[in-house]
Amino acid sequence: MVGIRERVALNIRKIRKSNGLSQEKLADLCGLHRTYVGSVERSERNITIENLDRIAHALGVDARDLIE
């Protein structure tokens, strides 16, 4: 069973790549550091709801899309 942190990481990576964005570009779009985005995508960090919303907005999706 995949945990929520891993699910969010996979969804961010999948949507980011489908939008043709690098981790650095995504980080710039949402005002976060590129190493933070990378560590979230590797499931190394717990993401806050605020940062989840910032990333979702930068990706052009609803935050629910990153959780489901």
The tens digit of pLDDT for each residue in 7-21 reads 999 999 999 999 999
Q: CATH number, domain at 36?
A: 1.10.260.40
For 37-61, the pLDDT digits (tens) are 999 999 999 999 999 999 999 999 9
Number of domains in the chain: 1
Q: Is the pLDDT of residue 1 over 80?
A: no
The pTM assigned to this predicted structure is 0.93
The helix/strand/coil state of 33 is coil
Q: Which domain holds residue 45?
A: 4-67
CA 36 to chain centre: 10
Contact of 29 with 18, CB cutoff 8 Å: no
Contact of 41 with 23, CB cutoff 8 Å: yes
Contact of 15 with 65, CB cutoff 8 Å: yes
